[in-house]
A and B are shown apart, each in its own frame.
Chain A
Amino acid sequence: MRFLHTADWQMGMRAESVGKVADRVREARLAAARRVVEAARDHKAEMLLLTGDVFEDNGVDRVLVRKVGEILRCFAGPVYIIPGNHDPLSPGSVWEHPVWKEADNIRVCTRREPIDLDSCVLFPCPLREKYSSKDPTSWIKAHDASKPAIGLAHGNVEGIPSGEPDYPIPRDAAARSGLDYLALGHWHSFARYENSQGECRMAYSGTHETTKFGERDSGNALVVEISRRGAPPSLAPIRTGSLEWRSTEHSVSQPLSLESLVQQLSGIAEPGSTLVRMRLDGLLFPEDRDALKQLDEILTSRFLFGVLDATGLTPAPDGEGWIESLPAGPFRDAAQKLRALASNASDPGQRAVASQALLQLFDLCERSRS
Chain B
Amino acid sequence: MILHSLRAAHWRSILEPVEIGPFAEGLNVIHAPNGTGKSSLFEAMRCALFDAHIVTGKDIEAVRPWGRSLAPQATVEFSKTGVRYRIEKTFLDGASARLLRLEGGRFVPIADGRNADSMLREILDATDAPGRGLSKQEHWGLAQVLWAPQGTLKLDSLSSSVSESLRAALGVQLTGEKGTRLEVLLEDEYLSFFTKGGKLRTGKDAAPILAVELECAEVNRERQRLLEQKRSFEEAARAVEDARQRRAQARRDAEGLEEPLAQTRRLAESFQRLQSDLQIKRQAEQAAKERCDSIGRTIELIANARQEIARIKAQIERDEAVLRDVAVELKTAVERAEECRWRRDEARAGRDSLKQRTAEIEDAREFLSDTKARQILGTRLDKLRQLESAVATLRQSRARLVAPDDTTIREVRKHLAAREKAETKIEASLIRLTIRPQYDAIVTRKSPKETKTVRAGEDATFAGSPEVSLEVDGFGRIVASGPEMDVEALREEMAGAENKVAKLTQPYGTQDADRLQLLRDQAKDLDQKIATLDGQIEELVGDETPEDLQRQLAELDARILERTGRFPVWKNQPPALSGLQSAFDARSKEIETAAVQAEDAFEGARSGAQAVEKRHAETEVGLNNARLNLEAANRRLDDLTRDALSDTARREVRKEALMAWEVARTQAGECEAKLAEIGDDPGKSLEKLERQFETHQGAEAAARDDENKAEGRLQTLAAEGAYSKLAACDEKRADLEAGIRREKLRMDALRLLHDTVASCKAAAVAAVAAPVERAASRMLARVAGPRLGTLRLTGQFVPAGVQPESLAEAVGLENLSGGEEEQLFLVTRLALGDVLARDERQLVVLDDVLNATDTGRLARMLVLLEEASSRLQIVILTCHPERYRALEQATFFDLVRPA
What residues make up the interface of A, taking CB atoms closer than 8 Å to B? 12-20, 22-23, 56-64, 90-93, 96, 311, 326-331, 333-334, 337-338, 341, 352-361, 364-365, 367-369
Dominant SS at the B interface? helix
User: Contacts A329-B176, A330-B757 known; A19 to B738 CB distance under 8 Å?
Assistant: yes
Which of B180-188, B473-481, B580-588, B597-605 lies at the interface?
A: B180-188
User: Contacts A14-B726, A62-B718 known; A364 to B734 CB distance under 8 Å?
Assistant: no
Task: Give the nearest-CB partner of A22 in chain B.
Answer: B731
Query: When the two chains form their complex, are residues B749 and A360 in contact, meaning their CB atoms are under 8 A apart?
Result: yes
Known contacts A91-B237, A356-B745, A368-B182; 8 further A-B pairs (Cβ under 8 A):
A14-B731, A19-B738, A59-B234, A61-B721, A92-B237, A329-B760, A329-B764, A357-B748
CB-CB under 8 A from A311, the residues of chain B are 745
Which of B104-112, B709-717, B777-785, B869-877 lies at the interface?
A: B709-717
A299: min CB distance to chain B, Å: 13
Query: When the two chains form their complex, are residues A368 and B726 in contact, meaning their CB atoms are under 8 A apart?
Result: no
CB-CB under 8 A from A13, the residues of chain B are 727
CB-CB under 8 A from B313, the residues of chain A are none
Which of B174, B717, B728, B749 has the largest count of A CB atoms less than 10 A from its CB?
B749
Q: List 29 A-B contacts (CB under 8 A).
A: A16-B733, A58-B718, A59-B720, A92-B711, A92-B714, A96-B718, A327-B175, A327-B178, A329-B174, A329-B176, A329-B179, A330-B757, A330-B760, A330-B761, A333-B760, A333-B763, A333-B764, A334-B753, A334-B756, A338-B756, A341-B752, A353-B745, A353-B749, A354-B749, A356-B748, A356-B749, A357-B748, A357-B750, A360-B749
Q: Does B860 contact A (CB under 8 A)?
A: no
Tell me, in angstroms, the Cα distance from A12 to B183 when the chains sit together.
51
How many chain B residues touch A (CB < 8 A): the figure is 57
Task: Give the nearest-CB partner of A355 in chain B.
Answer: B749
Tell me, in angstroms, the Cα distance from A63 to B181 when the chains sit together.
58
Query: When the two chains form their complex, are residues A91 and B178 in contact, meaning their CB atoms are under 8 A apart?
Result: no
Q: Does B840 contact A (CB under 8 A)?
A: no
Query: When the two chains form their complex, are residues B175 and A329 in contact, meaning their CB atoms are under 8 A apart?
Result: yes
Query: When the two chains form their complex, are residues B757 and A64 in contact, meaning their CB atoms are under 8 A apart?
Result: no
Tell me, in angstroms, the Cα distance from A365 to B237 when the chains sit together.
62
Task: Give the nearest-CB partner of B723 in chain A.
Answer: A59
6 A-B pairs with least C-beta separation? A59-B723, A14-B727, A91-B240, A61-B721, A356-B749, A16-B734
Q: Does B639 contact A (CB under 8 A)?
A: no
Query: When the two chains form their complex, are residues B721 and A60 in contact, meaning their CB atoms are under 8 A apart?
Result: yes
Tell me, in angstroms, the Cα distance from A369 to B720 when the chains sit together.
57
Query: When the two chains form their complex, are residues A15 and B723 in contact, meaning their CB atoms are under 8 A apart?
Result: no
Query: When the two chains form their complex, are residues A334 and B237 in contact, meaning their CB atoms are under 8 A apart?
Result: no
Tell me, in angstroms, the Cα distance from A357 to B750 when the chains sit together.
6
Q: Which residue of B185, B714, B734 contacts A19 across the interface (Cβ within 8 Å)?
A: B734
Q: Which residue of B186, B230, B244, B735 contacts A59 across the interface (Cβ within 8 Å)?
A: B230
Query: When the two chains form their complex, are residues B718 and A59 in contact, meaning their CB atoms are under 8 A apart?
Result: yes
Q: Does B719 contact A (CB under 8 A)?
A: yes
Tell me, in angstroms, the Cα distance from A61 to B226 when the chains sit together.
13
CB within 8 Å of A: which B220-271 residues: 230, 233-234, 236-238, 240-241, 244
Tell me, in angstroms, the Cα distance from A91 to B234 when the chains sit together.
9
User: Contacts A338-B756, A365-B182 known; A64 to B738 CB distance under 8 Å?
Assistant: no
Tell me, in angstroms, the Cα distance from A23 to B731 when the chains sit together.
10
Task: Give the nearest-CB partner of B175 in chain A.
Answer: A329
CB-CB under 8 A from A326, the residues of chain B are 182
User: Contacts A22-B728, A59-B723 known; A330 to B738 CB distance under 8 Å?
Assistant: no
Tell me, in angstroms, the Cα distance from A20 to B739 when the chains sit together.
12
CB-CB under 8 A from A92, the residues of chain B are 233, 236-237, 240, 711, 714-715, 717-718
CB-CB under 8 A from B240, the residues of chain A are 91-92
Tell me, in angstroms, the Cα distance from A365 to B720 when the chains sit together.
54
CB-CB under 8 A from B244, the residues of chain A are 91
CB-CB under 8 A from B731, the residues of chain A are 14-16, 18-20, 22
Task: Give the nearest-CB partner of A93 in chain B.
Answer: B237
Tell me, in angstroms, the Cα distance from A91 to B717 when the chains sit together.
12
Q: Which residue of A20, A327, A356 contacts B182 across the interface (Cβ within 8 Å)?
A: A327
Query: When the two chains form their complex, are residues A337 and B756 in contact, meaning their CB atoms are under 8 A apart?
Result: yes
User: Contacts A19-B734, A19-B735 known; A330 to B764 CB distance under 8 Å?
Assistant: yes
Q: Which residue of B179, B241, B722 contacts A331 across the interface (Cβ within 8 Å)?
A: B179
Query: When the two chains form their complex, are residues A331 and B750 in contact, meaning their CB atoms are under 8 A apart?
Result: no
B757: min CB distance to chain A, Å: 4
CB-CB under 8 A from B182, the residues of chain A are 326-327, 331, 364-365, 368
User: Contacts A59-B722, A91-B244, A360-B749 known; A327 to B176 CB distance under 8 Å?
Assistant: yes
Tell me, in angstroms, the Cα distance from A92 to B231 when the chains sit together.
13
Q: Does B493 contact A (CB under 8 A)?
A: no
A111: min CB distance to chain B, Å: 15
Q: Does B414 contact A (CB under 8 A)?
A: no
B155: min CB distance to chain A, Å: 26
Query: When the two chains form their complex, are residues A352 and B178 in contact, meaning their CB atoms are under 8 A apart?
Result: no
User: Contacts A92-B718, A331-B182 known; A12 to B727 CB distance under 8 Å?
Assistant: yes
Q: Does B746 contact A (CB under 8 A)?
A: yes
B141: min CB distance to chain A, Å: 25
CB-CB under 8 A from B178, the residues of chain A are 327, 368-369
Tell me, in angstroms, the Cα distance from A22 to B725 when the chains sit together.
12
Tell me, in angstroms, the Cα distance from A352 to B725 when the chains sit together.
34
Tell me, in angstroms, the Cα distance from A100 to B240 when the chains sit together.
20
CB-CB under 8 A from B236, the residues of chain A are 91-92
CB-CB under 8 A from A58, the residues of chain B are 233, 237, 718, 723
A273: min CB distance to chain B, Å: 19
Task: Give the nearest-CB partner of B240 in chain A.
Answer: A91
Query: When the two chains form their complex, are residues A91 and B752 in contact, meaning their CB atoms are under 8 A apart?
Result: no
A268: min CB distance to chain B, Å: 22
A94: min CB distance to chain B, Å: 8
CB within 8 Å of A: which B161-195 residues: 174-176, 178-179, 181-186, 189
CB-CB under 8 A from B307, the residues of chain A are none
Query: When the two chains form their complex, are residues A368 and B749 in contact, meaning their CB atoms are under 8 A apart?
Result: no
Task: Give the nearest-CB partner of A15 in chain B.
Answer: B731
Interface string of B493-537 (1 = CB under 8 A from A): 000000000000000000000000000000000000000000000
Query: When the two chains form their complex, are residues A59 and B753 in contact, meaning their CB atoms are under 8 A apart?
Result: no
User: Contacts A17-B734, A356-B749 known; A334 to B757 CB distance under 8 Å?
Assistant: yes
CB-CB under 8 A from B174, the residues of chain A are 329-330
Q: Which residue of A12, A333, A355, A367 contacts B723 across the interface (Cβ within 8 Å)?
A: A12
Tell me, in angstroms, the Cα distance from A330 to B725 when the chains sit together.
52
Q: Does B277 contact A (CB under 8 A)?
A: no
B95: min CB distance to chain A, Å: 45
CB-CB under 8 A from A331, the residues of chain B are 175, 179, 182-183, 757, 760
Q: Does B730 contact A (CB under 8 A)?
A: yes
Task: Give the nearest-CB partner of B735 in chain A.
Answer: A19
Query: When the two chains form their complex, are residues B230 and A352 in contact, meaning their CB atoms are under 8 A apart?
Result: no
Tell me, in angstroms, the Cα distance from A77 to B632 when the chains sit together.
115
Query: When the two chains form their complex, are residues B760 and A334 in contact, meaning their CB atoms are under 8 A apart?
Result: yes
Q: Does B724 contact A (CB under 8 A)?
A: yes
Tell me, in angstroms, the Cα distance from A353 to B717 when the chains sit together.
45
B117: min CB distance to chain A, Å: 35
Query: When the two chains form their complex, are residues A90 and B752 in contact, meaning their CB atoms are under 8 A apart?
Result: no
Tell me, in angstroms, the Cα distance from A288 to B759 when the chains sit together.
29
CB-CB under 8 A from B185, the residues of chain A are 364, 367-368
Task: Give the nearest-CB partner of B734 in chain A.
Answer: A16
Query: When the two chains form their complex, are residues B723 and A352 in contact, meaning their CB atoms are under 8 A apart?
Result: no
Task: Give the nearest-CB partner of A55 in chain B.
Answer: B723
Query: When the two chains form their complex, are residues A64 and B724 in contact, meaning their CB atoms are under 8 A apart?
Result: yes
CB-CB under 8 A from B181, the residues of chain A are 368
Tell me, in angstroms, the Cα distance from A134 to B369 when the chains sit together.
142
B758: min CB distance to chain A, Å: 8
CB-CB under 8 A from B756, the residues of chain A are 334, 337-338, 357
Task: Give the nearest-CB partner of B188 in chain A.
Answer: A364
A79: min CB distance to chain B, Å: 22
CB within 8 Å of A: which B188-219 residues: 189
B599: min CB distance to chain A, Å: 125
User: Contacts A14-B730, A92-B718, A368-B185 known; A330 to B753 CB distance under 8 Å?
Assistant: no
CB-CB under 8 A from A355, the residues of chain B are 749
